[in-house]
């Protein structure tokens, strides 16, 4: 289904480099329905030491408008400070907002003949000074997590300076926005009363990509083939959200097997200060394999016997909806998770534990689960929550929204 006005341009302010953020590939799926301008994270002049590669790439190629395929455009702006630094130096955000508006207007003039209406998407409170930078455009606030909690913190503390400042910015984005979409039911419930046009959309995964892990022609990487079985696996950021004490208990309970974690260490969360994390790094049957290219993930997933979601039950996870849930389910493999709110939607196909002991027991049960019927049920839920289906739902929401405003 096409958006009502096929000459609509969707403008997404990326919170990360595209090669990382495209792991939320519903945006690529949306490109089948409308043109999309991806504004990559700005290169900071005064904070060049934080992201030197961004500034280098800006001068080599990224300052120019680039196009990929029929509907995807790329552009990287430049500003005084790297995103998020304005939380420490808020006076810079006003100058960067003016500069951003001028740069965007120049880019939009280059593609002006290809669209009639623009809808901008903000998805993090750190992007507050991008809010309503394009005059006469509509704005959608796509909320995926509770970003008013500082990185690395477990609890929401309304007295924390960062949260106070983030709350004020969050309110500004909400007041500027014509539409709000969130993948968290808890965030949806909290916003439902004060915000009128808000929609709850489950997170999603690229089903066609991850279902490859169930295919007979895919080869499991050698570094997994050489590990002791069974293999209990996790794919995602190595950060403060993982319950490393739970991992140590799993390592003891399945000492004849292997625990495998695939993903880069998210240093901003200061996970290296976690005592339990440091313990897991010296346990013989826990293996940190580091970051893997997105295209390789199905092959690694194929080597898992059970997929793990061993998250801490902190405030960040209470408001979170990991898309890895549906990546795992697409493989048909058994999935065991701790019990945070978004799991309520998938309890029929995900084994959800209330404590560490139950988690260990559920993993043991999952290893004995050879049911083809259950495998098919898991894949059915993943297909229902594919990126293509989410893109269609978002397209319908935008279509209805634009009809109301016409």
Spans of all domains in the chain = 8-204+386-405, 207-384
Element (H, E) at 172: helix 161-176
Query: Helix, strand, coil shares of the chain as percentages rounded to 5?
Result: 45, 20, 40
Beta bridge partners of 352: 337
Q: Taking a C-beta distance cutoff of 8 angstroms, is the pair 39, 104 a contact?
A: yes
Give per-residue pLDDT as tens, 208-253.
999 999 998 899 999 999 999 999 999 999 999 999 999 999 999 9
CA distance 25 to 250: 32
CA distance 130 to 101: 8
What is the CATH superfamily name and number for domain 207-384? Glycogen Phosphorylase B; (3.40.50.2000)
Which spans in 232-321 are helix H? 244-253, 275-280, 297-302, 315-318
Give per-residue pLDDT as tens, 42-74.
999 998 998 898 999 899 888 889 888 778 899
pLDDT at 6 (0 to 100): 60
Terminal C-alpha separation, the chain: 18
Q: What is the dihedral of CA 175, 177, 181, 186, to 10 degrees?
A: -10
Please identify, in words, the CATH class of the domain defined by 8-204+386-405: alpha beta
Q: Taking a C-beta distance cutoff of 8 angstroms, is the pair 246, 211 a contact?
A: no
| Residues of the chain where predicted confidence (pLDDT) is lower than 50 | 1-5
Q: What angle do CA 267, 268, 271 make, to 5 degrees?
A: 55
pTM here is: 0.91
pLDDT at 400 (0 to 100): 87
CA distance 344 to 88: 38
pLDDT at 184 (0 to 100): 92
**Identical fold between 8-204+386-405 and 207-384:** yes
Q: Taking a C-beta distance cutoff of 8 angstroms, is the pair 307, 378 a contact?
A: no
């Amino acid at each position: 289904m096409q958006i009502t006005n096929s000459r609509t341009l969707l403008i997404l302010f990326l919170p990360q480099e595209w090669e990382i953020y495209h792991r939320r590939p519903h945006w690529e799926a949306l490109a089948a329905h409308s043109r999309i301008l991806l504004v990559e994270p700005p290169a900071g002049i005064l904070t060049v030491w934080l992201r030197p590669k961004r500034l280098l790439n800006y001068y080599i190629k990224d300052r120019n408008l680039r196009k990929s395929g029929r509907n995807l455009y790329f552009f990287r702006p430049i500003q005084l400070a790297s995103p998020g630094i304005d939380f420490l130096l808020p006076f810079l955000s006003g100058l960067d907002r003016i500069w951003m508006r001028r740069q965007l207007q120049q880019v939009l003039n280059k593609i002006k003949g290809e669209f009639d209406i623009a809808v901008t998407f903000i998805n993090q409170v750190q992007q507050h000074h991008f809010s309503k930078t394009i005059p006469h455009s509509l704005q959608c606030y796509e909320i995926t997590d509770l970003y008013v909690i500082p990185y690395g913190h477990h609890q929401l503390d309304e007295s924390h300076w960062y949260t106070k400042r983030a709350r004020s910015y969050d309110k500004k984005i909400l007041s500027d926005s014509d539409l709000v979409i969130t993948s968290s039911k808890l965030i949806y419930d909290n916003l439902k009363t004060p915000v009128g046009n808000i929609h709850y959309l489950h997170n999603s995964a690229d089903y066609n990509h991850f279902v490859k892990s169930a295919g007979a022609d895919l080869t499991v990487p050698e570094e997994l083939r050489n590990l002791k079985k069974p293999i209990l696996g996790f794919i995602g950021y190595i950060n403060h959200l993982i319950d490393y004490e739970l991992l140590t208990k799993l390592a003891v309970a399945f000492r004849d097997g292997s625990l495998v974690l695939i993903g880069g260490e998210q240093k901003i969360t200061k996970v290296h200060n976690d005592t339990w994390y440091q313990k897991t790094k010296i346990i013989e049957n826990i293996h940190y394999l580091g970051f893997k290219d997105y295209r390789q993930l199905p092959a690694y997933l194929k080597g898992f016997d059970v997929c793990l979601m061993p998250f801490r039950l902190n405030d960040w996870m209470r408001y979170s909806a990991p898309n890895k849930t549906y990546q795992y389910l697409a493989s048909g493999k058994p999935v065991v998770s701790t019990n945070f709110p978004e799991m309520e939607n998938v309890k029929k196909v995900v084994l959800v534990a209330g404590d560490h002991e139950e988690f260990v027991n559920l993993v043991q049960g999952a290893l004995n689960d050879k049911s083809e019927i259950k495998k098919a049920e898991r894949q059915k839920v993943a297909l229902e929550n594919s990126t293509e289906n989410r893109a269609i739902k978002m397209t319908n929401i935008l279509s209805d929204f634009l009809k109301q405003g016409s």
